[in-house]
């Protein structure tokens, strides 16, 4: 059974190809999403050892753009992030850019790396200047979101930063004060300077205008929040890993128009939009990243093989990590999310086992017939 996004993109597939001329990564993700769960793309045949009942489970597309596979990917990503966290309070900061700069990141997506690097440099510098002899290093995770709640292009970085850091001599020091003024001014300076190094000389005029227009720096939300270890892990799963749009936000699709809703950030009011399907598609596909582009990055103590890594206590112990990984599979995820076991025989209640795996372009009838013969 297809979902509403599969219906929309299937109906307008040729229009997307010949009118929008999308990037290769866009077409690749759309193709995978449309065929997700299609039995002709292959799957696994399960059988009940007691009563002989059969069940065919098609392969999933594993595209982050797909609503179901994207949620599964985000669950896995959230789990990996939670394994990294030090057992301390974390602060959620948001680094946003002025509307005047957004077009540059849309025209040249490689500049999104510059956005990551700017945020990284600013955070590390803020901790370094607290005590230059100690050279405090926090652990922080940066996640790129290119969308606002209205689905329009709005690249910004969510940073989850430990309220503490390891020094050259101190194993750990709790740090509750974040220099809000420094973050804003430094982010403006570093980002504009790095963009100047990557863009032509015409950018210099806009750069000077932005210094005058934003004398207090670019907006960085860094207010204290109650991100204790338990809350932080739940927060990662709910917010940082969210897809561009959940199918539950799409209220109606009649073949021509798409109606969806969102909660406006400024006043928490629910806004409903009804736009042509092609406009809706344009808003979505712009957020599909280039292949192999990392939307999530670990820095400081959370980077790989940091020298202080073994000295710090994690939110989730190694024993619990191993337990969670053992239960982090397709069957367990459905059982936890929906309360039923997908491999429990509907006839006798026994546990079904895999009979054979079939690959692309094998007719479903032939799959059943082959399974019946083998049984």
Q: What is the mean pLDDT of each run of 10 residues along the chain (375 residues)?
A: 88 97 96 89 89 90 85 79 88 95 97 98 97 94 92 95 93 93 98 97 96 97 76 67 84 97 90 97 96 94 83 84 79 78 92 86 56 58
The Cα–Cα gap between 132 and 2 comes to: 57
The Cα–Cα gap between 206 and 199 comes to: 11
pLDDT reported for residue 226: 64
pLDDT reported for residue 121: 98
| CB of 135 closer than 8 Å to CB of 128 | yes
Count of all residues that appear for the chain in the document? 375
The Cα–Cα gap between 341 and 354 comes to: 15
| CB of 372 closer than 8 Å to CB of 47 | no
Q: What is the dihedral of CA 116, 118, 121, 122, to 10 degrees?
A: -120
The Cα–Cα gap between 273 and 109 comes to: 28
Burial class (CB in 10 A: 0-12, 13-18, 19+), 36: buried
DSSP annotation string for 160-210: EEESEEB-SS-S-EE-----HHHHHHHHHHHHHHHHHHHS-TTHHHHHHHH
pLDDT reported for residue 82: 85
The Cα–Cα gap between 27 and 265 comes to: 31
| Sheet of 257-263, strands arranged across | 250-253, 257-263, 270-276
pLDDT reported for residue 240: 64
Terminal-residue alpha carbon distance, the chain: 28
pLDDT reported for residue 232: 73
Q: Name the nearest CA neighbour of 209 among 101, 52, 354, 290.
A: 101
Tokens standing for 73?
């990917």
């Amino acid at each position: 059974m297809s979902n509403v996004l599969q219906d929309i993109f299937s109906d307008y597939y040729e229009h997307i190809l010949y009118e929008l001329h999308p990037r290769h990564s866009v077409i690749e993700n759309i193709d995978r999403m449309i065929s997700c769960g299609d039995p002709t793309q292959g799957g696994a045949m399960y059988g009940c050892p007691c009563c002989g009942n059969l069940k065919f489970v098609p392969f999933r597309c594993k595209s982050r753009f797909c609503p179901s596979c994207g949620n599964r990917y985000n669950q896995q990503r959230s789990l990996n992030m939670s394994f990294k966290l030090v057992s301390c309070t974390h602060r959620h900061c948001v680094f946003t850019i002025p509307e005047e700069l957004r077009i540059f990141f849309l025209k040249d997506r490689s500049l999104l790396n510059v956005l990551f690097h700017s945020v990284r440099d600013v955070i590390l510098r803020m901790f370094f200047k607290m005590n230059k002899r100690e050279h405090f290093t926090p652990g922080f995770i940066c996640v790129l979101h290119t969308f606002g709640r209205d689905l329009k292009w709005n690249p910004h970085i969510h940073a989850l930063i430990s309220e503490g850091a390891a020094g050259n001599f101190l194993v750990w020091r709790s740090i509750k004060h974040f220099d809000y003024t420094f973050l804003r001014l430094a982010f403006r300076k570093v980002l504009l300077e790095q963009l100047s190094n990557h863009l032509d000389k015409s950018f210099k005029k806009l750069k000077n205008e932005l210094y005058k227009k934003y004398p207090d720096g670019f907006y960085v939300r860094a207010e204290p929040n109650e991100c204790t270890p338990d809350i932080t892990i739940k927060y990662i799963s709910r917010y940082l890993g969210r897809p561009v749009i959940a199918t539950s936000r799409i209220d109606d699709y009649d073949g021509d128009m798409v109606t969806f809703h969102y909660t406006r950030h400024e006043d928490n009011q629910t806004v409903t939009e009804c736009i042509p399907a092609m406009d809706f598609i344009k808003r979505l596909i712009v957020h599909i990243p280039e292949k192999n582009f990392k939307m999530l990055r670990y820095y400081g103590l959370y980077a790989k093989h940091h020298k202080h890594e073994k000295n710090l206590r994690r939110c989730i112990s190694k024993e619990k990590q191993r337990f969670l990984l053992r239960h982090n599979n397709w069957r367990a995820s459905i059982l936890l999310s929906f309360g039923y076991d997908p491999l429990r025989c509907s006839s006798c209640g026994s546990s079904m086992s895999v009979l054979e795996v079939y690959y692309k372009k094998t007719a479903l009838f032939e799959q059943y017939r082959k399974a019946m013969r083998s049984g």
